[in-house]
Structure 1
């Protein structure tokens, strides 16, 4: 997540001090990715050092107000225009956990998969309910939160499908040589689960 560019984008809207930036970021993303206030001020210091923001006095109560510079405007516009690169995918704790589990003796991989599936389906149900409730009483400022919820729903659906695939691979590996596993395979790879519907898993 680019905190640097997120803060610049909020300053493009209007000048703000650090705590206001933190509150605005969390309000617009549904507090899905909470920001540490120390992280906000550290980032502002770096942005000021790089000439992307400038101090514009204070609010009379000791809060330093920051505004975006022309260089900062160009930076944030370039960020919005460019795709998010996938050269270095973020660490996925679940993928790392299961990758290690299948390579170490004494780990019950099936139990680990099942425990995660239960948690992921619960999260999917919660996200789906939050989206339904928000859409039912949608206000003008809810669009950003709905976009975040849609992203979380799709990511969690994909996670549950991946867990199904992991389990199918474990079942296939457990089959004696020369037997046909019960689950269908495509080119030797277990067929992925059917598309998910969060309501159907309640």
Structure 2
């Protein structure tokens, strides 16, 4: 996830301070990926260093307000215009854990798969319930949240299917019973 580009995108609407950016990001993504406020301010510092945002001084409460520069607008446009590359997939902790578990004799891989499946199914149920509630009270602003929830649902469904495959392969390794 590119926090850098997300902040630039939000600053295109109007100048904001860090906490406002954090709140807007979480609101627009359905609070699916909470941002650490320290990470927001660190990213703003880097964006300022790179000439993509600038400080506009402080508001009445003393918050430093940031605005996007022309270079920042250009980078945001470029980000929205480019497809997300799949050449370097993000690390998947579960895949790493299972791969390592298969190579270590003291790990019960079957139990690991079962425990993860239970968590994944509970998570899928929660996402589905949240989506159903969002649809029941649909407002125009909720469309972005629904897109994020749909993505999370599809990813979790895929994870459960993958866990089924892992279990099937594990049984193949064990041989005929």
Same fold (TM over 0.5): yes
Superposed CA deviations along residues 28-76 of structure 1, whole A, max 9, x for unmatched, are 1111111111111111011011110011122122111111011000000
Partner of 2:89: 89
2-structure distance, mates of 1:51, 1:141 = 31
Partner of 1:2: 2
Equivalence map 1:129-168=2 (5 Å): 129-168=129-168
Structure 2 residues not aligned, in runs of 5+:
none
> Hey, which bits of structure 1, 4+ residues long, moved more than 2 A?
none
Structure 1 residues not aligned, in runs of 5+:
182-202
Structure that is richer in helix per residue: 2
1:87 deviation in Å?
2.2
Q: Which has the larger radius of gyration?
A: 1
Q: TM-score normalised to the size of structure 2?
A: 0.97
Equivalence map 1:1-202=2 (5 Å): 1-176=1-176
2-structure distance, mates of 1:133, 1:51 = 42
2-structure distance, mates of 1:76, 1:11 = 10
Q: TM-score normalised to the size of structure 1?
A: 0.85
2-structure distance, mates of 1:99, 1:13 = 45
User: Helix, strand or coil for the counterpart of 1:66?
Assistant: strand
1:109 deviation in Å?
0.6
User: Helix, strand or coil for the counterpart of 2:97?
Assistant: helix
In the alignment of these two chains, the number of paired residues is 177
Partner of 1:190: none
1-structure distance, mates of 2:138, 2:56 = 36
Alpha-carbon RMSD: 1.1
Superposed CA deviations along residues 118-155 of structure 1, whole A, max 9, x for unmatched, are 11011111111111110011012111110110000000
